[in-house]
Amino acid sequence: MMTLDDSLLELGSCIAGTGILMTGLLALLFRHPDAPRWTRPEIVAMLLCAPVTATIGFGLGYTTYGLYQLAHGGGDPRGLLVLAAVLTVLALVWRGLRIRQRLKDYAATSNSAASGSPATESTLAIGEEPPARGPAAGLPGTLA
């Protein structure tokens, strides 16, 4: 009969794999150029990242303890198969979702969009006139 101590390697690898996958999915959500409005406040990101970090920490802790037990003669060596399966599935899902490429694309999109975004323009003091625009201001790309 298998006890919880015998299955820490399997349990930990599954928990850590889930946490790592959640990290990638949250990164896609928060870095998306058209992310929902509720993702804008930084407190939301911090509140969502705390349980994900805890999940990864518990998973890696259980995995490490399971590997320690296995190295010292305890545990079941078949637990390494579960660890290998979790890593394989995680790599396949990561590549299938193209998380790394999407994050690079989002960064490139946000950098080009931020240069012309109204949010990056300076605000005016009360009673101050806005700067001149158009051909008279000599802006590039305007017809004179």
Q: What confidence tens digit (pLDDT) does each residue in 31-67 have?
A: 777 777 777 777 787 888 888 888 888 888 888 888 8
Residue 84 inside a domain? The answer is yes
Task: State the residue range of the domain holding 93.
Answer: 5-111
pLDDT at 139: 53
pLDDT of residue 114 exceeding 50 = yes
Residue 27 inside a domain? The answer is yes
pLDDT at 110: 65
Residue 90 inside a domain? The answer is yes
pLDDT at 120: 47
CB 10 within 8 A of CB 79: yes
Residue 119 inside a domain? The answer is no
Residue 106 inside a domain? The answer is yes
pLDDT at 6: 61
Vertex 55 angle, CA 103 and 20, to 5°: 30
For residues 67 and 65, what is the distance between their CA atoms, to the nearest angstrom?
5
Number of domains in the chain: 1
**Residue written as tokens 């518990």?**
58
Length, in residues, of the chain: 144
Residue 124 inside a domain? The answer is no
